[in-house]
Amino acid sequence: WFMSLPVVVEFAARKMEQIPPLPQQQWATLAQQADAIVVLGNGRERNSPTWGADTPTGLGLERLRLAARLAKESGLPILTTGGLHFDQPPSEASIMA
């Protein structure tokens, strides 16, 4: 349970995320360094009244927005990831696709 405490998660994330983001000037040449843009799932909102279906969470949508900009600049394809919640379809990946 210790590893699930928000303070521990935040501390661990800061240690792992020490690579700075790719500068916008380098987005156009991203295809020389990568084969695809991978978007990690971040959960889903169930039965959105606005969309009439499950949708990505707010952070998931932010990830998708950035991936769309990177794809537009670089020409790279987007690969979405994320599994089922409580074994109930749809998967996060299919919601974001």
Q: What are the tens digits of pLDDT across the range 7-55?
A: 888 888 787 777 788 899 999 999 999 999 999 888 888 888 888 888 8
Exposure on the CB side of residue 89, measured as CA atoms within 13 A: 2
Whole-structure pTM value: 0.73
- Judged by phi (left if over 0) then psi (alpha if -120 to 50, else beta), residue 87 lies in left
| The two structure tokens encoding residue 46 | 């169930």
Q: Where are the domains of the chain?
A: 22-96
